[in-house]
Amino acid sequence: MNIQRWKGIVWLGSLAVGGFLVYYVYDFLQAKEQLAQEVSDEELSAVLDSVKKPVEQKTDVVEYPLIQKVFHDHDWTGKEKEKPKGPGGSTGPTVAPKIPVSQLLKVLAIKVDTTKPENGVAYVTFIDGKLLVHKEKDDTILRPAEHLFAPYEGVKVDAITDKGVVFSFGDGRDPETVQTAPYSLATGGIVVVGPEGAIQPQLQSQIGAASLDVPVWRPEQMMQVRKNEFQVGTGTLEELDRDYSIILSRDISYSNYKNPRTGASEGIKINSVRPDSIPAQAGLSEGEVLKSINGHKVTSVNDAIAFVKASADTTDTWTALFEKQGREFTRTYRSPPR
């Protein structure tokens, strides 16, 4: 095919396209007025209603029970997951041990309102390790109808009286009354409020009676008296004397601490503490460095043990200096009264 024929084909194609464009413009101008008219709402509704909705495919929808079964109730093998077991292999929720409230907390002081008992207030400090994690202040305030924290949420403050704080239980136990400690306040930590205001006690007579009737406080287990102050129990002391080497190897890990600037040994660094152990009850935690005991610098565990044994017969109060994250603080431990 020569070039003349190609030119003829191109001209014919151009004429056809141009003619189509002219016809399209002409048709648009003829229908311009009709296209410019607004469509009524009725016509729009009729058109929309005439459209058939697609049939919902059931295969596109998965029932939630099937999702629950596949992703929650079964493991990766398609078998049902084993239900969690409580202590002793039994299924069901963990049941809090039946421990006397006197071993969970210590009542520091109470305010008794004779006109409105519900306004009574008890100031307590927790001594149980499971409750210590909940306290935001040194002391905690309890009021009637309040419950303790988990796992002792079944323990309820039933009433606050001049005899002490009455606790009730959800497990069928008889109510327990915890009295205030008579060792911190001469009044026994009780303030009674009546219609005419506070009823002032006779302090002198109470002090005299307390000196005759109050027994020496000798708790069996270590107890936290207040922030960074602990009373060593008789049972705790016996266990330390008998099994201190086992406790050091089982309940706590430590290493000698050297000053990063000088390289000199300056204490004992605590690397980890087993929960609910004697070191944990004594307030020790990971990252602390024991630097001295009663002013005596300690550079090793053997040095600390030797100093305590040599001073045990003449010393009842032990002040330990700690450092953590560059901040120094002290903890005081009191031996059981002789």
| pLDDT at residue 96, rounded to an integer | 55
What's the pLDDT score for residue 189? 60
Give the C-alpha separation, 37 to 44, whole Å. 13
Rounded to the nearest integer, the mean pLDDT of the chain is 80
pLDDT tens, position by position, 250-277: 999 999 998 888 888 889 999 999 998 9
Would strands 296-297 and 289-293 be described as parallel, antiparallel, or unpaired?
antiparallel
Q: Is the pTM of this model over 0.75?
A: no
> Would you state the pLDDT for residue 74?
75
Pick the closest to residue 126 from 143, 152, 100, 103 (CA basis): 103
Instruction: Name the β-bridge partners of 199.
Output: 192
Ordered by where they begin, the domains of the chain are 101-213 (no CATH), 223-334 (2.30.42.10)
pLDDT below 70 — which residues of the chain?
Answer: 1, 56-62, 76, 83-97, 132-139, 181-217
Q: Are 301 and 293 in contact (CB under 8 A)?
A: no
Convert the pLDDT of each residue in 63-81 to its tens digit.
777 777 777 777 767 777 7
Place of tokens 């029932």: 63
Exposed / middle / buried, residue 229 (Cβ in 10 Å: 0-12, 13-18, 19+): middle
Q: In this structure, what are the phi and psi dihedrals at residue 165, rounded to the nearest 5 degrees?
A: -95, 125
